[in-house]
């Protein structure tokens, strides 16, 4: 392990360290993380890990700290206690300038899309490429490819205000995946959307999971979306997701359930549905 991990990634393009990353080494590792706003504790003693290529669905009632946890993972907030390691780097101790380099490997979809309203869809999706001074032609080609992935290439010249909520969410996904990140953070990508549009978004998440095998964290308060994600797979031939045969579940999809700032469940889909915890049973029913 290098003496100063943040310095290692501050040299331009993000670098990977074999000793910090690998099949058995967690991509995301929370250890005893706590944070409070003013005097109100939001998260208390949160510890969990996310392994490479794993999709971790974070469930919980509104206001239980899910979005805060996501912002902590991306270094947008600093915890009051505990450590958070992303790709082996302790983001709680990194300077903002070093975090900018690390974030080049992380894609994030915000709860309300957070598209830049003064930029077109193309400029929004290409934002990161423009920052990296990617030539215009290459950037355009990658934007088209990314928008095709979310089936929205016809909206390339539109402004966010001209798009529906579901379309904005899809553009946000396109923006998050354009640099082919190793970790994708989805903060309630289906929040506030109708069931049909939600299913479209979940299908995109399944597609991204099964095509790129990137590690991801996904927040949702819709159990239906969570279980659709766990019980479906993407069929490259038909271009759509389909149920896993024989009621099977995707082994790489796991769950983390929060309540009142604490973890009440951390495990696989089978463990979740067979849990005997009374609160969890009531929540799932």
Q: Should residue 212 be labelled a site residue for another protein when binding is judged by CB under 8 A?
A: no
* CB 247 to another protein: min, Å: 37
Identify the residue among 89, 175, 207, 254 touching another protein (CB under 8 A). Answer: 175
For another protein, the binding residues in 131-160 under the rule CB under 8 A are 131
Looking at residue 46, what DSSP letter applies?
E
Of 77 and 256, which CB lies nearer to another protein in the complex structure? 77
Cβ count within 10 A of residue 168 = 23
Interface of this chain with another protein, residues 218 to 277, rule: CB under 8 A:
none
Q: In the complex, what is the shortest distance from the CB of residue 201 to another protein, in angstroms, rounded to a whole number? A: 18
170 binds another protein (CB under 8 A): no
Nearer to another protein by C-beta: 71 or 262? Answer: 71
Contacts of 183 (CB under 8 A, 6+ apart): 27, 28, 86, 87, 105, 106, 107, 214, 215, 216, 217
- The answer to whether residue 48 forms part of the interface with another protein (CB under 8 A) is no
| Structure tokens, 237 | 């031939």
- C-beta of residue 100 within 8 angstroms of C-beta of residue 107: no
CB of 191 to another protein, least distance (A): 13
Q: Report, in Å, the least distance between residue 170 CB and another protein.
A: 15
User: Which segment (95-103, 198-206, 228-236, 254-262) binds another protein by CB under 8 A?
Assistant: 95-103
- Rounded to the nearest whole angstrom, what is the least distance from the CB of residue 106 to another protein in the complex? 7
Q: How far apart are CA 79 and CA 170, in angstroms?
A: 30
Return the bridge partners of 113, or none: 110
Q: How far is the CB of 75 from another protein (least distance, A)?
A: 8
Classify residue 74 by its DSSP letter. T
Residues 96-115 that bind another protein (CB under 8 A): 96-97, 99-101, 103-104, 106, 108, 110-112, 114-115
When computed from its CA atoms, the radius of gyration of the chain, rounded to whole angstroms, is 19
- Decide if 261 contacts 37 (C-beta within 8 A): no
Residue 141, CA distances (Å) to 32, 92, 155, 284 in order: 43, 36, 15, 43
Which residues contribute to the site for another protein (CB under 8 A)? 71, 74, 76, 96-97, 99-101, 103-104, 106, 108, 110-112, 114-117, 127-128, 131, 175
């Amino acid at each position: 392990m290098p003496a100063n991990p943040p310095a290692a990634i501050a040299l331009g393009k993000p670098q990977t360290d074999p000793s910090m990353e690998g099949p058995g080494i967690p991509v995301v590792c929370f250890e005893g993380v706590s944070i409070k706003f003013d005097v109100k504790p939001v998260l208390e003693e949160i510890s969990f890990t996310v392994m490479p290529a794993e999709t971790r669905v974070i469930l919980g009632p509104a206001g239980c700290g899910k979005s805060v946890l996501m912002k902590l993972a991306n270094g947008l907030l600093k915890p009051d206690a505990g450590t958070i390691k992303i790709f082996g780097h302790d983001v709680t101790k990194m300077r903002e300038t070093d975090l900018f380099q690390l974030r080049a490997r992380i894609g994030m979809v915000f709860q309300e899309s957070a598209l830049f309203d003064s930029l077109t869809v193309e400029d929004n999706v290409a934002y990161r490429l423009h920052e990296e001074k990617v030539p215009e032609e290459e950037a355009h080609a990658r934007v088209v490819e990314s928008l095709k992935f979310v089936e929205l290439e016809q909206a390339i010249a539109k402004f966010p205000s001209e798009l529906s909520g579901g379309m904005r969410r899809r553009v946000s996904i396109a923006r998050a995946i354009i640099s082919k990140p190793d970790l994708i953070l989805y903060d309630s990508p289906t929040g506030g959307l109708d069931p049909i549009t939600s299913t479209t978004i979940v299908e995109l998440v399944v597609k991204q999971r099964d095509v790129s095998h990137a590690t991801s964290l996904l927040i949702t308060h819709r159990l239906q979306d969570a279980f659709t994600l766990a019980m479906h797979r993407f069929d490259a031939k038909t271009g759509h997701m389909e149920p896993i045969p024989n009621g099977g579940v995707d082994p790489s999809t796991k769950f983390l359930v929060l309540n009142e700032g604490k973890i009440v469940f951390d495990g696989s889909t089978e463990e979740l549905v067979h849990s005997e915890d009374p609160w969890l049973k009531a929540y799932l029913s």
